[in-house]
Amino acid sequence: MIHPTAIIDPKAEIGEGVDVGPYCVIEKGVVIDQETKIGPHVVIREGTHIGKRCHIFQFASIGEVPQSTGYKGEKTFLQMGDENIIREFVTLHRGTVKGGGKTVIGNKNFFMAYSHVAHDCQIGNEVIMSNAATLAGHIVIEDWAIIGGLVAIHQFIRVGAYAIIGGFSGVLLDIPPYTKAQGDRARLYGLNTIGLKRANFSEETLKALKKAYRIIFRSGLTLEKAIKKVREDETFHIPEVQHLLDFIQHSKRGIAR
């Protein structure tokens, strides 16, 4: 159902079964796939593509122009997948030309009230951003990561899969996958053991990750020597440990320790 007070540009594409609430504004070029529900007073700007069965709550701002001084009105995009939940007052901004032109959000993510995703961010699947969590531009968040309330993440940071960042943290360095981090200048506090168990990681995988974590971050070895030691040990030849090592070796900003 589309409420009669909603303002929808004729050049917007609205899929079958989409519900648009009162006083929404949907601009030209917007694409909304089937069975998505949009609450009252939502603004969806040009260049936004929203997938199937998403639920966007009241007063959210979707696909607004980026908060970047370098943005000069170019045509850029926000691409969102299926079954995302966007709570009240969430702001999701489209990309910039310098950042590739597109902000990308995967499937089944949960953005709690007042959370913010800036231009050119790349969000995976099943990510949770708690209330007022804030991403600067060009950030990569891998699948199943959890960002606590009032967390602020610096631009160009990466947060690895299944990592959890405790509330009221400031993140200036990459957070490796499977770890937990906390603090004004966020540092690591071991593996996200509870999250990994809830995700049904095997005991073998958990033991390998724990051992690899101790060697890499707590052995006193240089990062280069620690990674070399783990790579050369056949007991660590499992996908999760290899992903951890690859993530660290491809870091450009540096790794939180």
Tens-digit pLDDT profile for residues 101-160: 999 999 999 999 999 999 999 999 999 999 999 999 999 999 999 999 999 999 999 999
Residue 99: the pLDDT is: 97
Q: What is the 3-state secondary structure (H, E, C) of the chain?
A: CECCCCEECCCCEECCCCEECCCCEECCCCEECCCCEECCCCEECCCEEECCCCEECCCCEEEECCCCCCCCCCCCEEEECCCCEECCCCEEECCCCCCCCEEEECCCCEECCCCEECCCCEECCCCEECCCCEECCCCEECCCCEECCCCEECCCCEECCCCEECCCCEECCEECCCEEEECCCCEEEEECHHHHHHCCCCHHHHHHHHHHHHHHHHCCCCHHHHHHHHHHCHHHCCHHHHHHHHHHHCCCCCECC
Among this protein's residues, is 246 annotated catalytic? no
At 94 the pLDDT is: 98
**pLDDT for 143:** 98
Average pLDDT, the chain: 98
Mean pLDDT of 44-60: 98
Catalytic, 184? Answer: no
Residues 170-223 pLDDT 10s: 999 999 999 999 999 999 999 999 999 999 999 999 999 999 999 999 999 999
Catalytic residue among 39, 95, 137, 195: 137
Annotated catalytic residue, options 33, 119, 124, 195: 119
According to the model, what pLDDT value does residue 54 have?
99
CATH architecture of 7-195: 3 Solenoid (2.160)
Q: What is the pLDDT of residues 90-111, one digit of tens each?
A: 999 999 999 999 999 999 999 9
pLDDT at 256: 98
pLDDT of residue 244: 98
Domain residue ranges of the chain, discontinuous segments joined by +: 7-195, 202-249
Look at residue 164 in the predicted model and tell me its pLDDT.
98
| Per-residue pLDDT, 81 | 98
Catalytic residue, candidates 33, 120, 138, 148: 120
The pLDDT assigned to 196 comes to 98
Check if 119 is active-site.
yes
